[in-house]
Structure formats: C-alpha cells, structure tokens
Amino acid sequence: MEIPIFETERLILKGLSLEDAPLYQENFADEVIQHLSSRVPWPYPKDGAYTFIKDFILPNQGKGRWAWGIFSKQNLRI
C-alpha cells in the first residue's frame, strides 16, 4: 500500500524518501535534536537524517507504522 499524500495551500505531508534527507539534515536544529530520545545520537552526525530514513523509516514504512514528512511547498525538492 502506498502512503497517501496530504496537501494544504502551503504544505505537503508525504512519505519520506532518501532524497528528503538533505532538507531534514539542514533544518533539524541541534537544539531540538539534543532533547529527543536517547536513541538519537548527540551530537547529531552529518549523515544522521540520511541514515535514520534509510535504516529506520524506509524498512518499516507500511509495516504496522507510517511516517510522514511535512514540507513547505516552496522548499520541496521533487
């Protein structure tokens, strides 16, 4: 089953892909990361978003769990 995409005037909520990793890496502030779960490495590695999407999100997508990313339409790289 393909993950549904939801849209508003300014935002898109869609399943994550490896192509989204640079946007997440760039916009996921260290101030947020350090207060997440102990499972999130701190300091956050330069390939942290890519590795998380590749090793955790994609293998589990649609297998009892779904993960969406929220994107501004003006910043989305498709």
Tens-digit pLDDT profile for residues 15-34: 999 999 998 888 776 667 77
What are the residue boundaries of the structural domains of the chain, listed by start?
Answer: 19-72
Place of tokens 């350090």: 34
Q: Using 50, 70 and 90 to split pLDDT, how confident is the model at 1?
A: low
Over residues 38-55, the mean pLDDT reads 84
Place of tokens 């490896």: 18
Q: Using 50, 70 and 90 to split pLDDT, how confident is the model at 73?
A: confident
Rounded to the nearest integer, the mean pLDDT of the chain is 84
Cβ-defined contacts of 63-67 (< 8 Å, 24+): 66/3, 66/15, 67/15, 67/16
The per-residue pLDDT for 41 is 75
